[in-house]
Amino acid sequence: MPRLNPKSALTSLIPESGPQRVYLLATLVNIFGFGLLMTAMTLYGTRALHLAPTKTALVLTIAGLVGLLANVPAGHLADRRGPREMLRLSMLVQCAASIGYAFVNSFVTFLIVAIVEVTALNASLAADGALLRRVGGDDETAAAFRSTSQVVINVGIALGVAGTGVAAQINTPDAYRALFLINALTFLVAIALLNRLPRYEPLPGAETSSPWAALKDKAFVAYTALSGAMWLQFSVVIFMVPLWVVYHTNAPRWSITLFVWTNTLLIVLFQVRIGKNVQTVRQGGTALRRAGVIFLFSCSAIGLATGIPAWAALLVLVAAVALHTYGELWHTAALFALDFGLAPAHLQGQYQGLIGVGNGISQAAAPIVLIGVFLSLGRLGFVLLGACFALLGLLAPLVTSWGERTRPPAENPQAEQVIAAD
């Protein structure tokens, strides 16, 4: 792992470009609100609405699957109407839905608001991907900026989850409702900040492009499938490790929080530095292969924590999570290089929308696949999971090379049209 330099890592989070600073600040505010609700939704369903945990989970699952239908169309609109405009609109809908959560009183109304909110969320992710590409640009600083945005996301989520902890400690319906109202306020602040960005006009070819261009791109569809499968690694520390700690190891239960913060801290310190080394499609394929191999060792190491004393289990798990995070650093850097590098500049929204569908399906399937299949196999399950990640990593250079060969000639970055902010 690169040499630790906290001061340099924190300084690198402040870009020189004005629009980049505005974008990152808007992202931080928005993702803080997301972090508030990320772990509070199930608690809200059970505590405030008095729904059974299974019904609450059903609401979130249905909303998650329905919401995926918005990704590609919303991305197409972002390409044709401008990513900033589409992002602001989707955030406004999310704001209304967040307020609506505070007034739902049944399974049906909870489901309706959840579908609206998650659909708008998926639309915003597609638009945000296109906006990130335009703000980051195509120069040598783009990779570092995209990595910086990932660090900001992790910081925002960590801060938001801390706010959720306060509400969980109070543990009243009104405390959870307050989270939704705060989240609604973050959308309004983020929209106001986005108004300070320039308006990025659609690139030549966007208005006449097919709304299904991304789906017709076989190489990119193959990459989407591979990326979605590899996306499961993000859920290992969140889903698998806590259950493994509680039911299969002697490690103290409080260590679950330690693992999450270890993951977050390493990302904050090293994501930008790793990202600078992964800028091209070819480098992205290599980084994805490296990440897959690292996950083979990290997952296998997690499985070694069973049947040993508490102190030894704690040390093994801390080391395994740190190693897994090292793989995540390369994985995330690869995603930025490949998600943007394999997509035509004028169709970034549509292509990012398709990537979102693959990742969303993976996220929805994560509990069943990771817990129901691999965790049930015990130590062997972790080894097999790591082997799956390694295999995906080995396939990555082949898939990305196919995508690189079938890309159209690179567009001139100077052709991108930008006009003054409204």
Please write the tens of the pLDDT for every residue from 118-162. 999 999 988 998 898 888 876 556 667 878 888 898 888 888 878
Instruction: With respect to residue 44, please indicate whether it lies within any of the assigned structural domains.
Output: yes
Judgement on whether residues 97 and 238 belong to the same structural domain of the protein: no
- Please give the tally of structural domains in the chain: 2
Judgement on whether residues 243 and 171 belong to the same structural domain of the protein: no
pLDDT of residue 16: 62
Instruction: With respect to residue 233, please indicate whether it lies within any of the assigned structural domains.
Output: yes
Three-state DSSP class for residue 421:
coil
> Cα–Cα–Cα angle for 207, 212, 214, nearest 5°?
95
φ/ψ bin of 82: left (φ > 0), alpha (ψ from -120 to 50), beta (otherwise): left
- Stretches where the chain sits below pLDDT 70 are 1-17, 138-143, 408-422
pLDDT of residue 411: 47
pLDDT of residue 227: 95
Contact 247, 379 (CB under 8 A): no
pLDDT of residue 409: 61
Instruction: With respect to residue 422, please indicate whether it lies within any of the assigned structural domains.
Output: no
Judgement on whether residues 313 and 374 belong to the same structural domain of the protein: yes
Instruction: With respect to residue 420, please indicate whether it lies within any of the assigned structural domains.
Output: no
Judgement on whether residues 81 and 165 belong to the same structural domain of the protein: yes
Judgement on whether residues 132 and 221 belong to the same structural domain of the protein: no
Instruction: With respect to residue 418, please indicate whether it lies within any of the assigned structural domains.
Output: no
Q: Which of 137, 167, 199 finishes a domain?
A: 199
> Cα–Cα–Cα angle for 238, 109, 170, nearest 5°?
50
Q: Which of 199, 220, 240 finishes a domain?
A: 199
Predicted model pTM: 0.78
Q: Please report, for the domain that includes residue 151, its CATH number.
A: 1.20.1250.20
Judgement on whether residues 256 and 355 belong to the same structural domain of the protein: yes
- 49-69 per-position pLDDT tens digit: 888 877 887 888 888 889 988
Element (H, E) at 325: helix 310-341
Q: Which of 199, 222, 248 finishes a domain?
A: 199
Token pair listed for 257: 């929080």
* DSSP sequence for 203-268: PTTSTTS-TTHHHH-HHHHHHHHHHHHHGGGGGIIIIIHHHHHHHH--S-TTHHHHHHHHHHHHHH
Sort 384 into a burial class: Cβ within 10 Å, 0-12 / 13-18 / 19+. Answer: middle
State the residue for tokens 């993000």.
234
Judgement on whether residues 26 and 164 belong to the same structural domain of the protein: yes
Judgement on whether residues 108 and 228 belong to the same structural domain of the protein: no
Judgement on whether residues 388 and 300 belong to the same structural domain of the protein: yes
**Spatial separation of the C-alpha atoms in residues 375 and 368, rounded to whole Å:** 10
pLDDT of residue 110: 94
Judgement on whether residues 101 and 192 belong to the same structural domain of the protein: yes
Instruction: With respect to residue 289, please indicate whether it lies within any of the assigned structural domains.
Output: yes
Judgement on whether residues 122 and 258 belong to the same structural domain of the protein: no
Judgement on whether residues 90 and 131 belong to the same structural domain of the protein: yes
Instruction: With respect to residue 12, please indicate whether it lies within any of the assigned structural domains.
Output: no
**Spatial separation of the C-alpha atoms in residues 392 and 275, rounded to whole Å:** 20
Domain range for 261 is 212-407
Instruction: With respect to residue 56, please indicate whether it lies within any of the assigned structural domains.
Output: yes
